[in-house]
Structure formats: structure tokens, C-alpha cells
Structure 1
Amino acid sequence: MRDKIVALTDNLSRTIVGKEKPIRLVMVALLSGGHALLEDVPGVGKTLLAKSLARSINGRFQRVQCTPDLLPTDVTGTNIWNPNSREFEFLPGPVFANVLLADEINRATPRTQSALLEVMEEKQVTVDGEARQVPKPFFVIATQNPVEYQGTFPLPEAQMDRFTISLSMGYPSEAEELQMLQKQLQRVKVEELEPCISLEDVQELQRLTSLVKVTPSLQQYMLSIVRATRTDDDISLGVSPRGTVALQRATQAVAFLQERDYATPDDVKYVAPHVLSHRLIVANGRQPQAIIERLLRSQAVEPELMAA
């Protein structure tokens, strides 16, 4: 499946300039069967990335612009009365898509935010007691502005725990921004992207990712990092067991993208700050990602892992 991965990466790079690591991290979230949280200021390409991904995999794209007056049924869908058939009919909400962009998710009320909990975890929504499956694959990219808090509702820990990866796009360099201007003149638009892989290919890539070998020694290394977050003085609330599972799945995805059928400590180190930091509640104003990087340096790697 190497050609599929290269084609997807190249297709995304046509519209997303100079963002190799964010593209790779989003692909890690997709291949591991999880979801991605993009925390960044407006205008750095978050929406463009989500649209480009949906086009590239020939999937259905839906966007929810989160506002305080957004209702849960605006996300999941609702039953409406059809006077002709004299019965209720289900009107699907935007979650019935392959790629869902929840823009500025922290502007929605907790009630609406919770509507995403079931679908992100169970890949289904329950309306009037009836469960309905969303399409496969189902991938959520949520965004929030980390510097603007007026009129927002911070995501609870249970919601943050649903995201496999958190990342920041960041401002482009001067050369990258110049390249963006040049591409604008060339009219490289997301609508012009041609699908390069199919939805079936994505599901097969996810299946193969789950087969990447993780040795017991590497699992013990991951556990040492996770459990260290639960006893560190700078952390009020450490990583949950769901976070441990997410770290292993993301590590497998990193290895798979490197064209390996086995994972290494370097794969763990690459992805751990993005998998674990948003799951922490820190004390004393510390930076979560810096804490995870410190814990990575403090945890010894077994000799057999180094040899592998």
C-alpha cells in the first residue's frame, strides 16, 4: 500500500504548503482510527486541510460551524413529520459524513459538545432510541482557537480524551508563505483535487496499521511514560487508559507510514507529545507538551529496544 500513502501525502501537499508534519500527524490519526484536534489561530489552513483530505479519499465532507445556539440535533439529525406518508422520517445531520469538520468546537455549549461523544467513540448516533451507524471511515477534525476564550465553553476531559491527536498548524515560514501566494496565482484549489485513493483503501490501510507489531518491551516502555503522568508533581490529572490505547495505535500508524511492520521507541517519542499532552490537567501553569517531552527524556529505553 506504499503507493496509496505516497499518493495521499502528495495530494494533500498540493494545497497545504510546507506542513509536512501536520499532514503526517493527521494521517496518523486517520490510520489509527481516531480523530484529530487542531488548536491554532484562524487562517493557517485548518479547514483547507480537512477539505483536501475529504477530496483526496473521495469521501463526503461536512462542516459544522459551532456557535452557542447550535443544538445537538443540528449535529446528529432529527426525525421530522412527513404529512404525505403520515410518518416520521429521519433527516441526517452533518455527522453522516466521512470527514467531519467541527470548526471552533469550544464555541458550542457542553450539551452540543456531548452530542459528538457517542459518534466519535461508537461511530453511531442514537435519535429517539434508535441507533444509526455513520459511514465508514468516519473521521473528525475539530478546531479551536487557543488564544480566544470569550464566549467559549472549554472542552471537558471526557471530550478531549476522544481525540487521538492534538496538533498546531503554526505560521508558515517566509518562503512557504511566498509559495502560497504563487500557488494562488496558479489557481490550485481544493475543488480541483482529484481523489487519489478510495474509501475502501482507507479502511484497508487502517486494517494493516492495526497489524503492526508492538513488542511487550515496547508496550512496557509506553506504560512507563503514561504511568509517570499520574504521579508527576506538575500534573493534576494524568493520562487515562484510553490514552494508553491511543498511544499504541498512533505508534503503529507512525511505523506504518515509515513502511515498517514493527514499531520502535522513536515512533513512540515522535507521537507521544501529540497523543498525551491534551489529556493532561497541569498545575502551576506548566506547558503539557513540555512535561511530556521531559518525561520521555526521563524514561529509560531497554537495551533490546535500542537494538531493535
Structure 2
Amino acid sequence: MGTQFEPGDGQIDASLSAVMGERRQLINLAYRLLGSLADAEDVVQEAYVRWYAMSPRQQEAIESPGAWLTRVAGRICLDQLRSARVRRESYVGEWIPEPLPDRTEWADGRQGGATADPADRVTLDESVNMAFLVVLESMTPAERVAFILHDVFRYSFAEVAEIVGRSPAACRQLASSARRRTRASSEVPATSAARRAAVVKDFKHAWETKDIAALIGVLDPDATALADGGGLVNSAPRPISGSEEIARYLVAVSVIVDEQPFHQTILERTVNGQPGLVVQHDGITTSVLAFDVEGDRITRLWAVRNPEKLRPWTSYGKVMN
């Protein structure tokens, strides 16, 4: 016997599809606001829980479910950003935004190979590269929310005001302040994708061969390197400054790794939309490296080693290998 449908079921199915179709947009928003894909997924899940906690009549009274879900997710993110500042005061070592899991290989600045399900992946563009996310960390929670909603997602300041809980004029000032921060960090000319890929490839080769001189040559003299182990694995507890200091540290780490019983592989992978590297020990991802490149030199290096931030990368790596 076939399933019986009541009149109006088609309309309900269409409404459900429209609500669930907002998931990608909400993940995109929440990741940029929080810098953590895991936290972004939790926020979106909570937004949907609140939607389905309403009665059908309450849901029908909402003119735009997408706008409602965005307001709810935005407010949850704002609350999380405020509490995150307190939590990170007790975080062990440096805190780096969680890198987006990506199976995409890069070659000469071009991406190729398999990618994740688009519905479950944050759209990659300039607003998710690591340098941009790090700048966002310097903003106040209200600045970050106002800036991302208006400048990245093009919400009006009236809509932003509903989420932030301030006037449209105040939200305009918040976004303007945040904008100045991003401009100050992006005054240098952009480096082409092909050039970035070539520089990172040179870095990889120099690191694999433990060539200190070559590493120094590919690093800017005033380069900085940060590692995020979260207190769960060994990592540099403070930023390392200077090309020679970074190069010697990397080679020292490689020497220690060579003495271990596991096999290390360094893979060329896209990290937040740009050429990066993924370090695996017997197929388990132990580090994800992102780079900021200016001209022919690496100016900043971020190494995420906290295993809690790398769980999705390990499952991706097993698929690739």
C-alpha cells in the first residue's frame, strides 16, 4: 500500500526544503564569526533546534525563515564570541582559528582533485584565508559580527542591528572600525596564487631536506611562526620570530621526528583557500600549516597541531591515501 498524503503536504515539504536549504549559508556565516567549524556546526544545530521547537503556527507566522535563522545564529555566535574571550585567557599557548578540512591538492596555484560535499563545506574565498581570520580575532565580538554580516554577507545595518542589539548607526561605526583593522593588515600588494604555491613548494622541499639555508631564503627576515597545540601536544609555546630562528626550529623538529617509529608525510593541500601543507604520521594528520606570502617570501606561518581541531583532516587524509 502506498503512503497516503494529505492536502498541503507538498507545501509542507517545500517549506521544510527551504528551511534546510539555509544550512550552507548559516555554516558559512558561523565559521567566519567563530573561526571554528565544529563550533559553527553546533551553532547551526542549535538554531534549527529553536526553529523546530516552535509550533507549526508560529513557524508559518515567520515571513522569512532564512532571515529568522540568521538572526538566531548570529545572536548565538555573538554570545559565544563573548564567552570565548574568557575561555581563551586560560588556553594553553597560542590560539589559531581552526583550519577548514579540504582534500584539494594544489599545483602551481591551481586547485585540483576531489572536494567535499558543497553542502557541508564553507565556501572558500578571501574571507576565510588564515590571515583574514587572524585579523578578525583582534576585533571585539560586536565589531566582528557587524563587519562579517554587512561587509561579507551584505546584510543591511538595520538587519545587523537586530542581531547585535544596537542601533543601525552604532553598527555602522562598528563595521567601520573593523574595516580599518582589515585595511591596516592588507596594505601590501597581493601575491598571485601561482607565486604563493611556488613559495610554499620551495618551503616544503627545504623542510624535507633539512636545508636551513634554503629555509632562511624562503622566509622573510622578520617572519613569525605560531603553533597551536592547545596544551595537548608539544608545540612552540610562544611565537617564533626571525627567519633563522624559525628555520632552526623546524629542522630540529624534523630531526626529532626521524627518531620516531612512525612514517611522516608532508602533503600539499589547500588550507582555507590557499596553498598549505598537511603533515601526517602513518596517515594521521598531526599538523596543518597555513602561510602568508608577500612577494617571494613567507611572512607568517601558522601551524595548527591541536588534535581536537584536526579530527576532520585525519578522516579526509585516510580517504586521500
Same structural fold, with TM-score higher than 0.5 when normalized by the shorter chain: no
Identify the structure with the greater helix proportion.
Answer: 2
Question: What's the TM-score once normalised by structure 1's chain length?
Answer: 0.27
Greater gyration radius: 2
Question: What's the TM-score once normalised by structure 2's chain length?
Answer: 0.26
